[in-house]
Amino acid sequence: MTPPNSATGPLHGPAASAGRADEDGHRLTERPETTYASAGVDVEAGDRAVELMKSAVSATHNANVVGGVGGFAGMFDASFLKDYERPLLASSTDGVGTKVAIAQQMNIHDTIGWDLVGMVVDDIIVGGAKPLFMTDYIACGKLVPERIADIVRGIAEACREADVALVGGETAEHPGLLGEDEYDVAGAATGVVDATDMLGAQKVQTGDVLIGLPASGLHSNGYSLVRRVIEDAGWDLHSRVDEFGRTLGEELLVPTRVYTGQLLELLDNQPGAVHAMSHVTGGGLSANMARVLPTGSIGIMRRGTWEVPPVFNVLGDLGGVPQADRERTWNMGVGMVLVVDADRVDDVLGSFSGSWVLGEVAEDNGEHSSDSYYVTGAKGVDGGAAILLD
């Protein structure tokens, strides 16, 4: 048996016979050159992607952005913070989750950027903070410049909608870790609010009114459940669904509504009217509502106050998803909830098209605590409670 370290052994194979000798007579094996490109990373493609996205990114920049596109770090002039009495910086980071799998299957990539921005900046506005700037990160199996540019263009468009500067980002090619058509996205943003203007449980009072803001659809949560339902049912993403008036895939890719721009106007035009906000993301309506209420209070929301969009009932019925599971997974058509001073309800309703009275804040006297829909202590917050009632 030939030893493994022999020139004709399995570690070298037939190529060894074509080798040459160095000056000491040792055999050298000829091997093809190993480059970064041959390892699966195309640096030139990355440069092309940057050129394709540069104008969209630059369009989000304002006078506070220093240095433009291409630096190692995004720079933002924060001199205006000197005008704040006690500036509090707010930060948020998030991704889009498994919704990207739908985008990849449909080969539609420009809406995912809107999802990313909505998930990040709308968490910042919840505290009353104005988002200032954002960065993004895209990891992919193979860098296709046009696809990356589509994603970033969506991010930039949504940033402009929210008046947020996109000051930097990173695209990384991960061959062997992700498939050629696979990618994932993440983002982070920073905002600021003066301490006296911070919204939250500390401002909420019994008798405050809950105002719902309509969602654009599923937004970016619960897609693992969505994908399981359509997989089990054998539905094709390209099939038209009459209830949607478009294909299943198109409905599932409706981008997350970005509320920040309109909410900043509301806070400026109606100071003191809004006491708290809840961004309805993972965990559904009740869990996210309970996070922004003080201990001893309960947010009572009534299902009959709004019409649930068809996508939730179609998918829920298709998969036999229990009502409780639907409501703790999906937003059910409510993308944001505002906790409003009872005397200012009409002002707020008139400022936000499509909004409605969803319920109210009451003292939690234990009346609903045994109800299966009663939620408290959600997301690790030791706060109030929330419940959905018929």
Domains by residue range for the chain, with CATH? 39-194 (3.30.1330.10), 201-388 (3.90.650.10)
Contacts of 37 (CB under 8 A, 6+ apart): 43
Q: What pLDDT shows up at residue 100? A: 97
Question: What gap in Å lies between CA 182 and CA 358, rounded to an integer?
Answer: 40
Q: What pLDDT shows up at residue 24? A: 64
Residue 4 pLDDT > 70, yes or no?
A: no
Question: What gap in Å lies between CA 388 and CA 348, rounded to an integer?
Answer: 22
Residue 29 pLDDT > 90, yes or no?
A: no
Question: What gap in Å lies between CA 338 and CA 126, rounded to an integer?
Answer: 9
Q: What pLDDT shows up at residue 379? A: 76
Residue type, 185: V
Supply 79's token pair.
């001199």
- Spacing of C-alpha 364 from chain mean position: 32
Residue 377 pLDDT > 90, yes or no?
A: no
Least confident of 25-29, 49-53, 200-204, 262-266: 25-29
Q: What pLDDT shows up at residue 71? A: 72
Contact 220, 118 (CB under 8 A): yes
Per-range mean pLDDT, top range of 48-52, 171-175, 343-347: 343-347
Sorting pLDDT into bands at 50, 70 and 90, what band is 54? low
Q: What pLDDT shows up at residue 63? A: 82
Q: What pLDDT shows up at residue 298? A: 97
User: What mean pLDDT do residues 224-241 have?
Assistant: 97
Least confident of 43-47, 231-235, 367-371: 43-47
Q: What pLDDT shows up at residue 13? A: 34
| pLDDT, tens digit (0-9, with 9 covering 90-100), for 125-167 | 999 999 999 999 999 999 998 999 999 999 999 999 999 999 9
Query: What rounded mean pLDDT belongs to the chain?
Result: 89
Q: What pLDDT shows up at residue 26? A: 61
| pLDDT, tens digit (0-9, with 9 covering 90-100), for 159-218 | 999 999 999 888 899 999 999 999 999 999 999 999 999 999 999 999 999 999 999 999
Supply 341's token pair.
């001073």
Between residues 77 and 174, which one has the greater pLDDT? 174
- Spacing of C-alpha 318 from chain mean position: 26
Residue 8 pLDDT > 70, yes or no?
A: no
Q: State how far the alpha carbon of 164 is from the alpha carbons of 34, 110, 146, 184, 357, in Å.
A: 42, 18, 24, 22, 29
Q: State how far the alpha carbon of 278 is from the alpha carbons of 172, 193, 379, in Å.
A: 33, 17, 13
Question: What gap in Å lies between CA 351 and CA 353, rounded to an integer?
Answer: 7
> pLDDT above 90 covers what percent of the chain?
75
Phi, psi of 153 (to 5 degrees): -60, -40
Contact 109, 150 (CB under 8 A): yes
Sorting pLDDT into bands at 50, 70 and 90, what band is 232? very high
Residue 328 pLDDT > 70, yes or no?
A: yes
Residue 6 pLDDT > 70, yes or no?
A: no
Residue 11 pLDDT > 50, yes or no?
A: no
pTM across the whole model: 0.86
